[in-house]
Amino acid sequence: MSPWYAKLVFFLGVIGMAIVRAPHIKRSTAIKVVKSRNDILDKALVAFVSLGLVLPLVWMTTSAIAIADYALRPIPFAVGIFFFACGLWVLHRSHVDLGTNWSNTLELREGHQLVVQGVYRRIRHPMYVALLLYGLGQSLTLPNFIAGPSFFVPFAILVAFRMRREERMMLEKFGAEYEFYVSRTKRLVPGVW
């Protein structure tokens, strides 16, 4: 059984994500793509991540995965809400900083600029950090061992496959400028890794 407050947090998260992303998606997709590495692997991984929406809906509307339910406790629930909020905030900041250079996949757009400011100043993948935090939020607030981690796990796999390929694409495009950027930033955790 899915408690109403877990459902409420899930829908607020989905709506929050849509509100943060919609204007940027609209703006950046209007700009021509000049290089794409959107291959079958990346497409398959993006499709895999959509389980993070599908499985919670299955959990809420059927009893198909009710076997994996557990009792929701206040502290993990509160921590989950905190992660959700942090994730949405960093997602908003990274979209603002990346501007029209954003893509849902591995692409370079016309007039692509290397962004090194704002949330990109210390780490190279703040948007992925934001979505991982969002995924942890979902894991802690949906009391079901399948629906809960259904976004975090596929997304972490996508990030593991994508980061190096994305960095290789950026290095080919921006050369020494990107090398210098890499030398003074970390991937996901400021000052650590």
Residues that bind ligand SAH (CB under 6 A): 94, 98, 101-103, 106-108, 114-115, 120, 125-128, 166, 170
Quick one: 92 or 125, whose CB is closer to ligand SAH? 125
Quick one: 59 or 155, whose CB is closer to ligand SAH? 155
Give least dist CB 3 to ligand SAH, A: 32
Give least dist CB 190 to ligand SAH, A: 13
Instruction: Show the CA angle centred on residue 14, arms to residues 157 and 43, nearest 5°.
Output: 35
Give least dist CB 118 to ligand SAH, A: 10
Alpha helices by DSSP H, listed for the chain, are 4-29, 40-49, 51-61, 74-98, 126-141, 152-174, 176-183
Contact 70/145 with Cβ under 8 angstroms?
yes
The residue whose Cβ lies closest to ligand SAH is: 127
Contact 49/159 with Cβ under 8 angstroms?
no
Contact 126/119 with Cβ under 8 angstroms?
yes
Quick one: 128 or 134, whose CB is closer to ligand SAH? 128
Give least dist CB 117 to ligand SAH, A: 9
